[in-house]
Structure 1
Amino acid sequence: MKPMTEAHLAILRRHMVEVIALQADLMSEEIGKDILGERVLEPMRRVRRHLFVPPELAAMAYHDTPLPIGFDKTVSQPFICALMADLLDPQPHEAVLEVGTGLGYQAAVLAELARQVGIGKCGPLTSA
């Protein structure tokens, strides 16, 4: 089989957003809304999730599932990324601190929505 092109991946990205919209509709009672805002869905169509996973998983990057990214970490499920961004509702003039949702994908989506995104590291909790 020949390798996927950026055009193929763009089609899968659009399909991923359609699946996210379907899940939002199906889970409307649980999440308290019927749809996720277009302002969030549009960046989900643009941000190339396959760049945030190991190359051998690029073909699976647009499945609505968390994926391992090494370092005992995963990139979050796209529906969860979209839901978190929608509930946060960052505005273009705001700064956002993203901590512990993976190695960059959520921050990249938030960067499309807010003026600035800071990235923090979530480490083990220690007592004083």
Structure 2
Amino acid sequence: MNKELLEKLLLTTLTPYLLMSDEVADIHLKNVNLSINDRVGDSMDGLQVIIFDNLLPRHFHVKNKDGSLNAKFTIDGCKYLSGEISDADLKKIELFAKSNKGEIILHTILSPYIG
């Protein structure tokens, strides 16, 4: 799988979490197995995911157009490394990492490719 395809896969999966309201995120944090019914189309609302597999620790950036979100996360465990991010967006990315889809993306698909 090439890196561009993996970036699109990660972006497509992560975006619904970042777009959910704080109230909905709180509900999902209490039960990470809930499904997300409000899917996002090909438009990713100005979000961008970039995988850096040549820098240690191997990580990805999540960015938006206005710069209010520009943060780095490890691929292994989706741990916040640095950058600009609101507490609400950080909570949503943590929710993504705990979800079934997030675990599949991070552990099954990205880790073998990156590692």
User: Higher strand proportion, which one?
Assistant: 2
Which one has the largest radius of gyration?
1
Q: TM-score, normalised by structure 2?
A: 0.31
Task: Say which structure, 1 or 2, has more relative contact order (CA 8 Å, 6+ apart).
Answer: 2
